[in-house]
């Protein structure tokens, strides 16, 4: 029983590695004849914690973000399918200040 579980886990890891490698090769060689990179307009919001335990929000203008047309992230860029679904990004700046009773 334990041996079958180990074999199944190894098979799952190997299958995942093969899918990632195939995705990377198809991106580098452009196997399906598509552009490897794309761009999506994203809206970033910066959340800045204040000393009075409130949060100040700063809105950046919409900007283009480069992405890859693949299943997984490559070359340091997120996949376009993920970025299209997450166009609004909130970035927390700094830490929440601690009060006297913390």
Rounded Cα distance, 26 and 36, in Å: 9
Residue 2 CA: distances (Å) to CA of 8, 10, 15 = 10, 12, 20
For residue 57, what pLDDT band results from cuts at 50, 70 and 90? very high
- pLDDT tens, residue by residue, 66-102: 999 999 999 999 999 999 999 999 999 987 656 555 5
Which residue ranges make up each domain of the chain? 2-92
pTM as predicted: 0.75
């Amino acid at each position: 029983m334990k041996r079958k579980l180990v074999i199944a886990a190894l098979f799952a890891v190997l299958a995942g590695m093969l899918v990632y490698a195939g995705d990377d090769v198809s991106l580098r060689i452009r196997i399906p004849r598509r552009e490897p990179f794309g761009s999506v307009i994203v809206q970033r919001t910066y959340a800045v914690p204040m000393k009075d335990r409130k949060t100040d929000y700063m809105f950046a203008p919409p900007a283009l973000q480069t992405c890859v047309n693949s299943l997984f992230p490559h070359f340091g860029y997120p996949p376009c399918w993920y970025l299209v679904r997450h166009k609004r990004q909130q970035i927390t700046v700094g830490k929440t200040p601690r009060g006297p009773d913390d």
